[in-house]
């Protein structure tokens, strides 16, 4: 056992605390609208400025993985593209990307039930809570 974990440092859990606070901000914003909250909690990025690829790059990666037959990887990239589409306020792309992801990986995305409302709430969240 000696030396097995030597030198390995544990990262502080601060981002998790920040995420919980931000989810509370989102919850305050949607109020009692549990459906919209749940839809956004599973799809939107709280700080999309930290996501490296653009929405187009993520969609291109998804298409390439789909063409290669890697459904899981394609679904993951469509999920990323969809989250970035939420940030950009692009309802059409939200529907497209999460719709394809849903078909590829068999996961139901609640945001597809009322994407216009969810994207509008997300935009309000970003304007209020996302700092430059």
Is 53 domain-assigned? no
> What is the per-residue pLDDT across 55-77, written as a single tens digit (0 to 9) for each?
999 999 999 999 999 999 999 99
> What is the per-residue pLDDT across 73-130, written as a single tens digit (0 to 9) for each?
999 999 999 999 999 999 999 999 999 999 999 999 999 999 999 999 999 999 998 8
Is 35 domain-assigned? yes
Is 56 domain-assigned? no
pLDDT of residue 23: 54
Is 86 domain-assigned? yes
pLDDT of residue 130: 85
Cα Rg for the chain, rounded, in angstroms? Answer: 17
Is 1 domain-assigned? no
Cα separation values, 77 from 4, 15, 23, 82, 124, Å: 35, 23, 23, 8, 25
pTM of this structure: 0.80
Is 113 domain-assigned? yes
Structural domain range at position 100: 15-43+71-129
DSSP sequence for 67-116: HTT-HHHHHHHHHHHHHHHHHHT-HHHHHHHHHHHHHHH----GGGTSHH
* Overall domain count for the chain: 1
Question: Which DSSP category does 43 fall into?
Answer: T
């Amino acid at each position: 056992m000696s030396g097995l974990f030597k030198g390995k440092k544990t990262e502080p859990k601060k981002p998790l605390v920040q995420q919980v606070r931000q989810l509370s901000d989102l919850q305050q914003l949607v109020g009692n609208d549990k459906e919209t909250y749940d839809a956004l909690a599973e799809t939107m990025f709280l700080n999309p400025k930290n996501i490296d690829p653009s929405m187009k790059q993520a969609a291109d990666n998804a298409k390439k993985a789909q063409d290669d037959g890697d459904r899981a990887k394609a679904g993951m990239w469509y999920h990323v593209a969809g989250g970035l589409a939420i940030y950009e306020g692009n309802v059409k792309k939200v529907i497209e990307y999460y719709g394809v992801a849903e078909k590829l990986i068999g996961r139901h995305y609640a945001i597809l039930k009322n994407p216009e409302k969810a994207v509008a709430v997300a935009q309000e969240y970003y304007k209020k809570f996302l700092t430059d």
